[in-house]
Amino acid sequence: MTQADVLIIGGGLSGLVCAHDCQQNGLRAHILEANETVGGRVRSDHIEGVVCDRGFQVFLPAYPTASAVFKPLGIDWKAYPKSAVIHDGDNQQWFGAPFTSGIGEKLRLTPRDYWHFFCDVSAGLQNSKCTGTVPTHTHLNRYSKTVSDQFLKPFFSSVFLDPELHAPASLFQYYLSLFVRGGVAVPSHGMGEITQRLAAQLNPGTLQTHMPVTRISKAGGIWKVETETGSFLAPIIVMATAHHHACALLQELPRPTRALPVSTHYFLTDTIPDTLGPLTLFPNGTNCHHVAIPTRVAPNYTPDHRHLIMATTYGTDTVSAEAVLDELARYTQTQHWRWIHHVKLAHSLPDSHAIKHPDPTCILAGDWTTLPSIEGACRSGKLAAQAIGVT
């Protein structure tokens, strides 16, 4: 049996951040990761030399905790333009920050829209708790129908990965303020670069992959974590897995209230269609809700200067590549796109549950315990370390 001061189950962002803080304070932490590599949802697959992030993901530089965690990593960030193209079937428009440009006609805002933008950005700057009972889909009805239906609802559906926009309006306001302050970016070599660099900072032997946990028990004040290849002992465990995985190991936890399935297909093409921007929204789409082209801002996603097109559908993880291409053919030529990969996520972003395990030596971490985001994952890792006694 292997003994440690802290056992961390899950090598995603929260587990890596917690392990790093424990290591900085002289504690022996072991991470047990079920998959072949670290990262959880923040990892990248490499297909034919092409970087395929696990679905559409970006980093918001205005995140306070995550920015502080990532700053020492020396990541080369590539910023997306602060605008998005909108295809509604008949018209092609774009919306963006002042002094930006796009494809088609710029979406027009009414004076009421400008006022509500100002109020919501101001509210987001003052509140990062992201709680409340009013859902985003109801809150957005305060805007003009054109701005709400053509931009805000499809754009924030891509943020929340939820076409129903059940997230509280305060979370919408918080994200809106982050977008205004810092925009969005990706590492030059894909989102998985973040967690790979975090893992590289850990002491040798801290991280063990291919180590799915089969059972957790406690006796005599010591936790025993069993895997298929051996057992691990520690006085403290940190459950840094996805919510549904944590529930499978800890039966006493409340279950997730809903899942947000997402499907992303990845295509290669030699040329970029002039009808698509780096981020293109399809408000009336059924088989594809948005397209991202990360190679427009980060060419290193592909090894040979071809372009990677990521087509994402919310509400399902089973849509076919043929159905996506058929729908997108209404807006652009797709016959030369070559399919290379598909990522289906039954659980894309969690509901947040500010819960604690009844035993204080079993600490829950992950963005489902704070805020469903990269920021929330980093924040929860820091909070877990603090609960252990790390300062």
DSSP 108-170: PPPHHHHHHHHHHHHHHHH--S---SSBHHHHGGGS-HHHIIIIIHHHHHHHHT-TT--SBHH
Residue 9 structural domain: 2-43+192-258+351-388
Considering the domain boundaries, does residue 20 fall inside one?
A: yes
**9 and 153 housed in the same domain:** no
**176 and 198 housed in the same domain:** no
Considering the domain boundaries, does residue 323 fall inside one?
A: no
**221 and 178 housed in the same domain:** no
Contact by Cβ (8 Å): 166, 178: no
- Six-digit token pair at 318? 């089973």
Q: E strand or H helix at 238, and its extent? A: strand 236-239
Domain boundary among 151, 182, 213: 182
CA 298 – CA 77 distance, rounded (Å): 9
pLDDT at 129: 63
Considering the domain boundaries, does residue 355 fall inside one?
A: yes
> Within the chain, where are the H helices?
13-24, 64-70, 111-126, 136-139, 145-147, 153-160, 169-182, 192-200, 243-249, 321-328, 374-388
**196 and 232 housed in the same domain:** yes
Considering the domain boundaries, does residue 204 fall inside one?
A: yes
Question: How many independent structural domains does the chain possess?
Answer: 2
Considering the domain boundaries, does residue 271 fall inside one?
A: no
Q: Which residues of the chain have pLDDT under 50?
A: none
- Six-digit token pair at 21? 């803080």
- The per-residue pLDDT for range 276-294, each reduced to its tens digit, is 999 999 999 999 999 999 9
**174 and 203 housed in the same domain:** no
Considering the domain boundaries, does residue 252 fall inside one?
A: yes
What is the number of H-type helices and E-type strands within the chain?
Answer: 11, 21
Domain boundary among 152, 182, 212: 182
Domain boundary among 182, 201, 218: 182
**175 and 116 housed in the same domain:** yes
The CA distances from residue 49 to 46, 190, 293, in Å, are 6, 12, 16
Considering the domain boundaries, does residue 340 fall inside one?
A: no
Contact by Cβ (8 Å): 379, 70: no
- Six-digit token pair at 26? 């002289």
Sheet containing 236-239: order of strands? 207-208, 29-32, 6-9, 236-239, 362-364
pLDDT at 258: 80
The CA distances from residue 144 to 124, 150, 155, 285, in Å, are 20, 10, 15, 21
**139 and 243 housed in the same domain:** no
Single pTM value for the model = 0.94
Mean pLDDT of the chain: 93
pLDDT at 306: 94
Nearest to 2 by CA among 30, 24, 26, 25: 30
**254 and 199 housed in the same domain:** yes
Q: Helix, strand, or coil here: 48?
A: coil
**150 and 31 housed in the same domain:** no
**178 and 121 housed in the same domain:** yes
Q: What is the CATH number of the domain that holds 229?
A: 3.50.50.60
Length of the chain: 391
**226 and 245 housed in the same domain:** yes
**234 and 213 housed in the same domain:** yes
Considering the domain boundaries, does residue 17 fall inside one?
A: yes
Q: Helix, strand, or coil here: 32?
A: strand
pLDDT at 256: 84
CA 157 – CA 356 distance, rounded (Å): 29
CA 85 – CA 104 distance, rounded (Å): 8
Strand partners, 84: 95
pLDDT at 350: 78
Single-letter amino acid, residue 123: A
Using a pLDDT cut of 90, give the percent of the chain over it.
81
CA 162 – CA 187 distance, rounded (Å): 25
